[in-house]
C-alpha cells in the first residue's frame, strides 16, 4: 500500500468492553442515575452484556451496540473492515441479526489525506455488505487523532436473546477464534511482525462472527459473548459472575496465535492486557508456577475476537464439528461447573 495511517505515532486506548467500555471507565459509566424501570428494556446497563436489547413487540426486539477506536493496523482499508467486524460482533453475540449501521468518524482532515479516510470507509462498507447490513448514515468530527467505529442495530426474537447470565453447570465452552491479538497488534506497531503475521492477525480480525452466530442457532446455547477488550478471562468472568457459575478453562486447549509468547517476552504485552489481568486476578486460580506471560496471554485484550459460547454438553461435539466444517477456527476450551461460583479456574 502507498498510504497508511501511521499508527505508530498514535496511542492505543485499549479495546472494547462492549456495552460499557474499558475497565477503568466502566465504574463511572455504570454510576449513571437509575432510570425509571422499563419492562421493554430486556438487557440494559445492569449486566455486562455485549449490547442492549429493547422489546418492540412480543416477537421482535432491537439489539443496539456501538464501538469505535484508534487504528490498530496500518492498512486503512483493513482498519475499516476490522472496525465493522468488531462493531457488528456484539449483535451476533446476543443472538441477533444485524440490519443497519451508522459510521462514527473522527479524522484530522487538515493533516491526513482524505483518501485514507475513503479507504477506511470503503473497508467498513465492504464488511457491512458481507454481513448484509445497510449503512444508514453516520457522523464525523475533525479530530487530531483518527478514530473510527460504528453503531450497529440488529433484531432478535426476545425468546432467543443470548446473554451472559444463563450458562449452566455442565455446559462446554467453545471459542471461535484464537487469542493473542492484542500482543500481535502491539508488536505490529513496533515493527516486530513479518508480512505473513500481519496478514494472519488482520484476517482474523476482519473475519465476521456471522458463520459462528448463524451456526449456533441450531443448538442449545445457554450463554454467549464475544472476546474483545477484556480478554478471554475477562469475558469468561462476565459469564461466571452473570450466570453465578464456576468457569473452568483448559489452558492447553486455548488456541493462541503463533509466536505470541515470544513477542510477549520481548515486551509486547499491551497496558490494557496487564490491566485486564489486574482486574480479574482475585477471581482466577491458575495452576501453581504458571508463567506470568501465560497469565497475560489469557487476559490479552482482543479486537474483533471470536464468540465464547456456553453450549449444552450434549450438543458441544456436534456444534464444534459443524463450526470447524464451515471453516471457523473453533475449539472447546473449558466447561461450566457449580462450585466456586463467580470464579474462574484455569487448569
Ligand atoms: Co463491544
Ligand atoms: Co462484546
C-alpha of residue 226 to centroid of ligand 2, in Å: 5
- pLDDT tens digits, residue range 262-304? 999 999 999 999 999 999 999 999 999 999 999 999 999 999 9
**pLDDT(1) > 70:** no
Full set of structural domains in the chain with CATH:
7-160 (3.30.1330.10), 172-346 (3.90.650.10)
C-alpha of residue 91 to centroid of ligand 2, in Å: 8
Could you tell me which residue, 19 or 125, shows the higher pLDDT?
125
- pLDDT tens digits, residue range 150-170? 999 999 999 999 999 999 999
**pLDDT(83) > 80:** yes
What is the rounded distance in angstroms from the CA atom of residue 12 to the CA atom of residue 162? 30
pTM: 0.93
C-alpha of residue 17 to centroid of ligand 1, in Å: 6
pLDDT at 25 (0 to 100) = 73
pLDDT at 154 (0 to 100) = 98
Point out which residues pair with 331 in neighbouring strands: 175
- Verify whether residue 299 is a known catalytic residue: no
C-alpha of residue 56 to centroid of ligand 2, in Å: 22
**pLDDT(138) > 70:** yes
Nearest residue to 337 (alpha-carbon basis) of 249, 248, 250, 252: 248
C-alpha of residue 137 to centroid of ligand 2, in Å: 23
How remote is the C-alpha of 196 from its chain's centroid?
23
Counting every residue, how long is the chain? 347
pLDDT category of residue 18 using cuts at 50, 70 and 90: low
What is the rounded distance in angstroms from the CA atom of residue 13 to the CA atom of residue 35? 29
Annotated catalytic residue: which of 5, 7, 16, 105? 16
Which ligand has the minimum distance to the alpha carbon of residue 96? Answer: 2
Which ligand has the minimum distance to the alpha carbon of residue 209? Answer: 2
| Helix, strand, or coil (residue 340) | coil
| Helix, strand, or coil (residue 133) | coil
What is the rounded distance in angstroms from the CA atom of residue 342 to the CA atom of residue 18? 20
Which ligand has the minimum distance to the alpha carbon of residue 48? Answer: 2
Amino acid at each position: 500500500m502507498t498510504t497508511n495511517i501511521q499508527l505508530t505515532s498514535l496511542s492505543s486506548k485499549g479495546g472494547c468492553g462492549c456495552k460499557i467500555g474499558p475497565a477503568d471507565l466502566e465504574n463511572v459509566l455504570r454510576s449513571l442515575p437509575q432510570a425509571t424501570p422499563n419492562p421493554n428494556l430486556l438487557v440494559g446497563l445492569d449486566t455486562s452484556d455485549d449490547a442492549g436489547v429493547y422489546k418492540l413487540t412480543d416477537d421482535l426486539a432491537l439489539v443496539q451496540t456501538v464501538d469505535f477506536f484508534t487504528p490498530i493496523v496500518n492498512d486503512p482499508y483493513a482498519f475499516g473492515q476490522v472496525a465493522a467486524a468488531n462493531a457488528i460482533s456484539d449483535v451476533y453475540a446476543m443472538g441477533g441479526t444485524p440490519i443497519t449501521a451508522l459510521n462514527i468518524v473522527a479524522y484530522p482532515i487538515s493533516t491526513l489525506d482524505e483518501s485514507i479516510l475513503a479507504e477506511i470507509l470503503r473497508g467498513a462498507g465492504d464488511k457491512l455488505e458481507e454481513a448484509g447490513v445497510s449503512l444508514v448514515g453516520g457522523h464525523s468530527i475533525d479530530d487530531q487523532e483518527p478514530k473510527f467505529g460504528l453503531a450497529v442495530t440488529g433484531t432478535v426474537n426476545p425468546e432467543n436473546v443470548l446473554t451472559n447470565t444463563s450458562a449452566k453447570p455442565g455446559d462446554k465452552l467453545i471459542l471461535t477464534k484464537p487469542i493473542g491479538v492484542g500482543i500481535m497488534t502491539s508488536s505490529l506497531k513496533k515493527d516486530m511482525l513479518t508480512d505473513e503475521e500481519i496478514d494472519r492477525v488482520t484476517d482474523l480480525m476482519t473475519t465476521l462472527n456471522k458463520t459462528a452466530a448463524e451456526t449456533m442457532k441450531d443448538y442449545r446455547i445457554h450463554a454467549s459473548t464475544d472476546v474483545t477488550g477484556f480478554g478471554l478471562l475477562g469475558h469468561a468472568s462476565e459469564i461466571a459472575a452473570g450466570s453465578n457459575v464456576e468457569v473452568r478453562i483448559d489452558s492447553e486447549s486455548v488456541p493462541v496465535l503463533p509466536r505470541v509468547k515470544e513477542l510477549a517476552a520481548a515486551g509486547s504485552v499491551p497496558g490494557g492486557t496487564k490491566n485486564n489481568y489486574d482486574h480479574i486476578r482475585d477471581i482466577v486460580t491458575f495452576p501453581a508456577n504458571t508463567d506470568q506471560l501465560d497469565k497475560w496471554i489469557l487476559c490479552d485484550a482482543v479486537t474483533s475476537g471470536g464468540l465464547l459460547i456456553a453450549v449444552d454438553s450434549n450438543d458441544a461435539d456436534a456444534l464444534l464439528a459443524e463450526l470447524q466444517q464451515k471453516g471457523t477456527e473453533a475449539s472447546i476450551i473449558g466447561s461450566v461447573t457449580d462450585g466456586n461460583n463467580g470464579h474462574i479456574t484455569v487448569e
